[in-house]
Chains A and B, each alone.
Chain A
Amino acid sequence: MAIEDDVLVIGGGIAGATAALAAAERDVQVRIVSYKQSTLRNASGLIDVLGYTPAGDGPLADPFEALAALPEGHPYERVGSEAVREALAFFDEIAGDAYQGSHTDANALVPTHGGTVKPTARYPTSTAAGLASDDRDALLVGFETLPDFEAPLAASHLEATGAPFAARGVTVRFPGIVRDDAKITRYAHLLDHDEAVETADETRAGEPTAREALAETVRSHLADEARVGFPAILGDDRADAVRADLADRLGVDVFEVPMGPPSLPGMRLEDLLYEALEAAGVRVTTGVPVVEYETDDAEASATGPERIDRVIVDRNGAEIPHRADQYVLATGGLVGKGVRSERERVFEPIFDCHVPHAADRYDWFVDDVFGDQPYARFGLPVDRDLRPLDAVDDPEFSNLRAAGAVLGGYDFAAEKSGSGVSLATGYVAGRRAAEGCR
C-alpha cells in the first residue's frame, strides 16, 4: 500500500517548508519527506531578497526596484515580482514577532561576524538593535573561547565600511564556560536556563546566574554605547527572554551578530518553520531519501510530458512508495545535494532533471574565488509554472515543480538572494501544486 497525499514536497529547508505551508492553505493533504538535516544550520538566519544585481551593483537599498530588471530565467523573473511580495507577506505572517523588516521596502544592513555589513530584507528580532543603518554607537563583545568572532577586529572593520556610528570591541571570558572547545549550544543552554556559574569574584555570596554574571562582566567595559552586540549564542529556546534580561541588566539594547555554522539563528528559523508545519497539519517524514520514481504509463501521451505516479522512499532499507497528485522538488543546490556532480557531469539525482553545464569541468569555475562563478548557477531551468525543463525547454514532468536552491540561473551568494528565492519559489510552487490537484 502506498502512502497517499495530494501534494508531496521533497526537501525540508526554507523552500520545501514554504511550499508545504502554501499548499496546505488550500484544502489538500500535504506531506514533506526530507533526507539530510537542512542546510539552515549553515545559514545566518537572515532573509535576503536581493542585495546586489547580477551585474554586481549594490548594495541595493530597495530590492524590489531591481527585481523587474532581472534577466530571463532568473527564479524571480519566473515567478514575477508580485509573487515575491506575496511570499514575503506570507513569511511575515508565519514569523510573527520573530522577524522584523516588514515595515519598509528598504533593505537593512546587518553587521556580520566578519565585521562587514550585508544587505537583507528580513532579520531576526535578535538582530534588530544591531542594524548598521542605525547610528547609535555600539559595543561588540566577543569571548576568548570563540575564535569565530574577534570583537575588536569586527568593530574596526565595521568602521572601515563607513558605518555611521562608533564601534568598539572587547574580548571577555564567558562565565561558566570551562572547556576551551565548548559547543555553541552549551553557551546558549547556560543562558536559556540561567544556570548558576562559578566566577572569579570570591567576595560575592553564592554563585551568580549565567545572565547575571555575563551582564556583570560586560558592564565594566560599557562606556556610553547605547547598544551591545554579542555573537549569536544568546539562548536557543528562550532567546527573547535572555536578550531582554541582559538588556535590562545593562540598561542598553542588546543584539546578536549572525554567525557561521553551527548557526543558532538558522536553527531557530528551522524550528519556527517546523512549528508552523505542525500547526498547518502538514505531515513530515525526516531522515529518509527518495531513491526512485515511477511514471504513470496510462497517462503518458505521445506529445505531452510524463506524469510522476509515485516516488520510492528508502526507510532503513525498506522501500516505501509515496504517491501524490503533485510533487515539489526542493532538495537544495550543491550544498544540500539536490544538485550533484561527478568528474564529467552535473545532475539532479532523483528525477535526473536537466542541469545545464559546460562539458569540461574546467569551465565550471573562474580563477578569482569571488569572480562570476558558473558553478554557483548550477541548477534546474524552469518554466513560469516552475516545472523543470529538459534540454529542449519542454517540461520534464507534468506534475513536478521545483523551488529554492535546486533552481539554476542565479548566484544566491553574490546576489544575497538565497532565502528570498526559496520563499518566493516555494510559495508559488506550493500554491500551484495545490491548485493543480485533481
Chain B
Amino acid sequence: MARDTEVLVLGGGSTGCGIARDLAMRGLTVTLVERGNLTDGTTGRMHGLLHSGGRYAVSDRASATECIEENEILREIAGHCVEETGGLFVQRPEDSDDYFREKLEGCRECGIPARVLSGREAREVEPYLADDVERAIEVPDGAVDPFRLCVANALDAENHGARVETHAEVVDLLRDGDSIYGVEVRHDSGPGKRTHATPGTTEEITADYVVNATGAWAGQIGAMADLEIEVRPSKGVMTIMNVRQVDTVINRCRPKGDADIVVPHETTAILGTTDEEVADPDDYPEEGWEVDRMIDTLSELIPILSEARTIRSFWGVRPLYEPPGTGTQDPTDITRDFFLLDHADRDGVSGMSSIVGGKFTTYRAMAEEIADHVCEKLGVNASCSTADEPLPGSETIETLEAGMDDFGLRSPVARRSKQRLGSRASEVLETEKPNPVVCQCEGVTRAEIRDAISQSGSDLNAVRIRTRASMGNCQGGFCCQNMANELHPTHDEETVREALDELFQERWKGERHALWGEQLSQAMLNYALHATTMNRDRDPANENGDVDFAAFDGGRSGRTRVDGSRRAD
C-alpha cells in the first residue's frame, strides 16, 4: 500500500529536526509532526550550553569525547547559532583538589583542550568571579541558541523536501496487528502554517517507518500502541539575568550538584540548574525555592548575582532513560547517553523506533545514528552528510559580514540582526520599505518579524523564538503589541488579538518567577500599559461588544451626525 511518507518523525525538538534534516538530505521523503511549536519541549527549555565535554570528563568519558567532537562540528556547520565564549571550571576553597585534578586529566584524555588558570588569571578573564576562587580550568565551552539551531534544521529539512507540521498533536498511533504504520494527528488550525481561531481538523498520516523522537513524552506516545517506554522525566530550573555578568561559561568544579553553571546567552546570562524526577512532563510544580537556590548558590561563585535583576525563570524536563533493571535512585546519576529502542526487537512490534535520553550538544550525532538505523530498516543505501553541510544561515558568514551594508539601520541593531540571520541577512533585510525596530530591547526589526511570520503564521511565540523579539528586559510589555501589528493585514483583527493575548500570557508565565525588585516594577509597568493605556484586560471586543455607547460622553457639543456641517460650529 502506498504511504504518505517514507519516514514520519514525531517531535519537533533538536533530535526530531536533526533526524528530519538528515533523512531528507539522504533523499528520503520525510514528514515531521510536532504538538506545539518547534522547540516546545526540552530543546526550548535548556540553558544554551554547547558542551566542550568538560562537564562529563570525570564521570562519563565516552560522552565527553563525543561532546568535543560535536562541539567542533557545530562551530563549523552552525556558526550563526554558536557563540564561542569559552568556559571555566572554577574551584572554590571548599571544593576538592582531587576532583580538580581528575577533571583536568579527564579533559586531556578526551581530547578537550584544557588549561589551568590561577585565581587571579581567572578573575582577569571574568572580573566578577569571587575573590576566593582559587583556580580554574579553561575549556572550549560555548553558548548555542537552541531555537535558531533547531529551526535551521527544520528549514533545511524543508529545503530538502520534508513536510514540517507544527501544532499537530499525535492523538493515536495507527497499528495493524504487530505493525505500526502511521499516526493520527489533530491540527490546531488545519494543516499548513498556523492561523489562530480556525477550527482544528484531524489527519491520518501513514508512513513506512515511524521515529518517536518525543523525548520526555516518548512514554505517552508508546502507550498509544500499548508499548511500555519508561522515560524518567527530570525537571530543572533556569533563571535568566537581564545582563551578562559573565562572558564565559562558568561551571563549578565539583561533582554533580544543583546550581553549578552560568551560561552567557545573547544579552543575558542563564543560571542553571536543578535535577529532580517528576511524574508527568506536562505538570510539575515550579517553586520559588528553586529560583532562590540558583541565585544563592551561584552567588558563591559570582557575588553580584545576589543583587542582580532576573527577568524570568523557566523549567525544562530532561528525557532521562536507563535500561530496565539499573535501578538508579538519583536522577543526576542516570546516564545522559541516548538509547534507540527498536520496538521490533524489543516488543515484537515493527515499524517504529523510539529515541530516549541524549543531550542537546550531540543531537546531530544521535540523528546520524538513528537515520542510519532507519535507512537500514528501509533498505536505503545513502550516507550522512550533516557534519559537512552548513545549516541555512551559516553558509558564508565571513564574506557576507565583510561585504554587507548596514541596511540603513543603526549599527548595534544591524550587527545583531546579522548575527541572528547569518548568511540569510541580505535576503531578509534588503527591502525598499521602511524597516523600523519593533522590539527595542533586542533590536529586532520589522523585516525580521515579517520573515518569521512568513515561516510560522500567526503564532507569535514561533516568531519570538526565531527573532528573540520580546525576550529582553521588558519581557514583551513594550513590543508584544507591535509584533502583533505586523500580522495585519495578512491575518484578520480577531486572529491578531488572539495571537497577541497568547504571547502576552506566555511572557508573563516565566516573568512571574522574577517578581521582585526591578522586574516587579517592570511587570507593573507592563500591566499598566496594557490594562490602563490600552484597556486590554477589559476589552469590549472580547466581551461581544455589548457596551451602551450612547450612555457615555459624546463630546462637549453633544452627539453629532455626519452632515458635513460640523466644522461650521
Contacts and interface: CB of A to CB of B under 8 A. Distances in A.
Interface of A: 42-44, 48, 51-52, 56, 58-59, 61, 100-101, 103-104, 106-109, 112-119, 128-129, 131-137, 144-150, 152-153, 156-157, 160-164, 173, 180-181, 224, 226, 247, 251-253, 258-261, 333-335, 337, 340-343, 360-362, 364-365, 367-370, 373, 375-376, 412-414, 416, 418
Contacts of A128: 555-556
Interface in B476-527: 478, 481-482, 485-486, 488-489, 492-494, 496-497, 504-505, 508-509, 512, 515-517, 520-521, 523-525, 527
B482 A148 contact: yes
A373 B288 contact: no
B555 A131 contact: yes
Most buried by B among A146, A156, A333: A156
B402 interface: no
Nearest to A368: B505
Nearest to A136: B562
A247 B410 CA distance: 35
B529 interface: yes
Interface residues of B, number: 74
Task: Rank and list the top 6 A-B pairs by shortest CB-CB distance, nearest first.
Answer: A162-B545, A118-B535, A413-B531, A150-B485, A108-B553, A369-B508
B408 interface: yes
A144 B545 CA distance: 29
Contacts of B288: 360-362
Contacts of B292: 343
Nearest to A118: B535
Contacts, number: 247
Nearest to B528: A413
B528 A226 contact: no
A116 B540 contact: yes
Contacts of A134: 554-555, 559-560
B159 to A, nearest CB: 30
A153 B489 contact: yes
B346 interface: no
Contacts of A116: 534-536, 539-541
Contact of A341 (B436, B438, B516, B559): B516
A375 B523 contact: yes
A145 B433 CA distance: 9
B532 A253 contact: no
A104 B481 CA distance: 33
B9 to A, nearest CB: 33
A365 B512 CA distance: 7
Given A162-B546, A247-B567, A152 B527 contact: no
Nearest to B296: A343
A304 to B, nearest CB: 34
Contact of B549 (A109, A260, A333, A373): A109
A65 B545 CA distance: 23
B364 interface: no
A108 B554 CA distance: 7
B248 to A, nearest CB: 27
B535 A117 contact: yes
B562 A101 contact: no
Contact of A109 (B486, B489, B552): B552
A160 B530 CA distance: 18
A133 B553 contact: yes
A260 B533 contact: yes
Contact of A226 (B446, B540, B564): B564
Contact of A59 (B497, B538, B562): B538
Contacts of A48: 532
Contacts of B436: 144-147, 180-181
B551 interface: yes
A112 B541 CA distance: 13
Contact of B520 (A104, A341, A413): A341
A118 B434 CA distance: 31
B223 to A, nearest CB: 29
B532 A416 contact: yes
Given A59-B538, A414-B531, A106 B552 contact: yes
B295 to A, nearest CB: 8
Most buried by A among B433, B525, B554, B555: B555
Nearest to B439: A147
B224 interface: no
B435 interface: yes
B520 A59 contact: no
A134 B548 CA distance: 12
B515 A136 contact: no
A108 B525 contact: no
Contact of B553 (A107, A137, A157, A418): A107
Interface in B447-490: 478, 481-482, 485-486, 488-489
Given A261-B478, A375-B515, A375-B524, A418 B532 contact: yes
B527 A43 contact: no
A343 B516 CA distance: 6
Contacts of A108: 552-555
Nearest to B526: A369
21 contacts: A108-B555, A114-B534, A116-B534, A118-B532, A118-B534, A135-B549, A145-B436, A152-B488, A156-B488, A156-B492, A162-B547, A247-B567, A260-B481, A341-B520, A342-B517, A364-B515, A368-B505, A369-B508, A369-B527, A413-B537, A418-B528
Contacts of B516: 341-343, 361
A335 B540 contact: no
Contacts of B494: 160
Nearest to B440: A181
B560 A136 contact: yes
Contacts of A341: 515-517, 520
A113 B531 CA distance: 12
B459 to A, nearest CB: 18
